[in-house]
Amino acid sequence: MAKEKNETPAGKKTSDSTKRKRTAGTSSSRTQTTRRKTTGKKTRGSSRTVLTKGVADISRDKTAKRLSTIERERKKRARQISRIKTTAVLLAVFFGLSAALLFVKVNFFTENTSSREQIANQDNPEAGIIKEKAEKDIPEPDSPPSNPPAHGTGENRSQNETKKPENSGPAETTGGEDYNPVRESGGADVKPETAPEDNASVEKDMTPAADASNEILIPEGNGVLCFVFDDAGHNTGHLEPFLELPFSCTIAVLPGLPHSAECASKIRGAGKELFLHQPMQAVNLNMDPGPGAILPGMTTEEIHGILEKNLEETGPVSGMNNHEGSLITADREAMKAVFDIVEEKSIFFLDSRTNAKTTAPEIARERGVKIWERDVFLDNSQDKAEITKAVLGGLEIASKKGYAIMIGHVWSEELAGILLDLYPRLLKAGYSVCDISELQTRVKTGEM
């Protein structure tokens, strides 16, 4: 019992010690658990913070990249605009300099050309006059004035005049060496709507001097004058005064008109030379050349057919000249077709020169065909003084080169009367008058 009593405190101590240890262990476990929980909470909080910061950083990076892209695009557009402006400025400078250089070159060329022409004209006055009258390209009147008064009808005029034998024989073709030398200097002579400036050169030496009777002073000369009167065929009344002129002349009849065949017959009957006044399209497409015209786009066969028909209606003729035709005469293929018929029929071709770029002289040279070319239009103005001035211009040309071909129109009210008045004085001054056929003969026989 005593032992048991002795052993009891020790056992109690052991038990207490064990309890304390257990309690300490439990407390330690609790502490560790608490620490782990606390640490876990801190870790989770830290993760959330890191995650939030990462999202914000990504968002900031995206925004920065977007802003950077926008800025780059803005700068790129600015550079493009700058390049465009620079290019535009450079182009403006380039074209400005080019225009200035071209202007200088044109002025230099013009001045040099004028100087050369002045020198050439001093050595060759004839070429100078021809060049002066060839400077302007002016369109031909496409038709007679509306309702022009007739000069009377054939029925009311005397038919008792002595008729001169008809002179409408065929023309002979000639070689290139016999080609008309007058036009070699080039240039355009075309019908103006107003008084031609190509006759202005006569004012200096040949301005008509009027005495008390208003008589025109005709300068002396020895040239040959050829008068050609176009646009017959509208009626016979316009034609009569020209049939009664006391000198040889050439009258050209338009085809396809109510009085074309009748006028052609009257012209032959009066002993005047007859031409076909062949209508051709003008550059101004609004101008209607009339029936029987050669139009753009026609084939060679179509042109041949039209010419054959027109010649059958008006023929026999000595030749033909163009009515209007500033477009067609500049068309090589069309004019080659015309010259096919000219050669086949052995007739003359008179170029009315309504276009500076007429191809007729070139084609004639290539084929060895003799052609003639107009020098003066007489009645671009219906004023008597202007018509007279045009005639005087023709006299000066004839004095320089030996002859002048002057074209008028049968519908001109004053023309026949003026020429009838001037004719005796022209003969007295030394000039002669003939038609195209006779001019051809004089040139070939060396009379001129």
pLDDT tens digits, residue range 169-191?
A: 333 333 333 333 333 333 334 44
Question: Nearest to residue 438, comparing CAs of 222, 204, 227, 280?
Answer: 227
Per residue in 337-388, pLDDT (tens digit) is 999 999 999 999 999 999 999 999 999 999 999 899 999 999 999 999 999 9
Average per-residue pLDDT for the chain: 76
Per residue in 316-351, pLDDT (tens digit) is 999 999 999 999 999 999 999 999 999 999 999 999
**Structural tokens at position 376:** 């003066």
pLDDT at 32 over 50: yes
CA 252 to chain centre: 29
Sorting pLDDT into bands at 50, 70 and 90, what band is 159?
Answer: very low
What integer pLDDT is reported at residue 423 of this predicted model? 96
What integer pLDDT is reported at residue 61 of this predicted model? 76
Average pLDDT over residues 224-234: 97
Per residue in 51-81, pLDDT (tens digit) is 676 777 777 777 777 788 888 888 888 988 9
What integer pLDDT is reported at residue 338 of this predicted model? 97
Sorting pLDDT into bands at 50, 70 and 90, what band is 19?
Answer: low
Average pLDDT over residues 252-281: 97
Q: d(Cα 385, Cα 27) in Å, to the nearest integer?
A: 146
**Structural tokens at position 434:** 């003939």
Per residue in 78-133, pLDDT (tens digit) is 988 988 999 999 999 998 888 888 887 776 666 555 555 554 444 444 444 444 44
**Structural tokens at position 248:** 């040889």
Average pLDDT over residues 241-269: 96
Query: What secondary structure letter does DSSP report for 368?
Result: T
Question: Nearest to residue 308, comparing CAs of 280, 333, 276?
Answer: 276
Contact 113, 105 (CB under 8 A): no
Torsion of CA 338, 339, 342, 344, to 10 degrees: -110
Amino acid code (one letter) for 48: R
* Percent above pLDDT 70 for the chain: 64
Average pLDDT over residues 382-404: 95
pLDDT at 207 over 70: no
| Chain position carrying tokens 């021809």 | 130
Q: d(Cα 184, Cα 174) in Å, to the nearest integer?
A: 17
Average pLDDT over residues 184-199: 38
What integer pLDDT is reported at residue 15 of this predicted model? 62
More confident residue, 323 or 194: 323
Sorting pLDDT into bands at 50, 70 and 90, what band is 236?
Answer: very high
For 300-342, the DSSP string reads HHHHHHHHHHHHHHH-S-SEEEEEE-TTTTT-HHHHHHHHHHH
Q: What is the pTM of this model?
A: 0.58
